[in-house]
Amino acid sequence: MTTINAYLNFNGKCREAMTFYKECIGGELTLMPVEGSPAEAQCPPAMKHHIMHSSLVKDSMVVMATDMSPQEGYVVGNNFALSVNCSSEEELNRFFSKLSEGGKVVDPVKKQFWGALFGVLIDKYSVCWMFNYDMNQHK
């Protein structure tokens, strides 16, 4: 089933913010720090304790977040994205192709270390979209 979730950016305060949200609404919180991840070597040492990816899941509600800033840097207003978990590779490619028309591809669709196809774009209305298709769950 295809789903869409909010993906927030906290510019160094992800652990604090997501822990606060867990205290407020409950659920299961997962935090993946930069340290120990395949991305660690690409990041400055000062970022090793930053959160690369986190998710808070409560029933059917999912909030995801990161400390990783967009290429243009962190600016209030570009600190969120719509994250689409696709039900097939074909769906991901169709959505990505159509939404990138008149926009900008930030990260082309490619296989990632977490076992998914993933790509990021900013559409012609300046909305950031993240597309993910977990190839492992569909074997």
Q: How far apart are CA 12 and CA 44, in angstroms?
A: 13
5 and 64 part of one domain:
yes
Tell whether the model's pLDDT for residue 132 goes beyond 80. Answer: yes
CB 53 within 8 A of CB 95: no
78 and 139 part of one domain:
no
78 and 96 part of one domain:
no
The answer to whether the Cα torsion of 98, 99, 105, 111 is positive or negative is negative
18 and 58 part of one domain:
yes
42 and 92 part of one domain:
no
In tens, the pLDDT along 79-123 reads 889 999 999 999 999 999 999 999 999 999 999 999 999 999 998
CB 65 within 8 A of CB 17: yes
Structure confidence at residue 39 (pLDDT): 87
Range of the domain at 110: 86-139
For the record, the structure tokens of 113 come out as 């270390």
Q: Which of 42, 66, 85 lies at the terminal end of a domain, its last residue?
A: 85
Tell whether the model's pLDDT for residue 76 goes beyond 80. Answer: no
Tell whether the model's pLDDT for residue 139 goes beyond 60. Answer: no
CB 6 within 8 A of CB 92: no
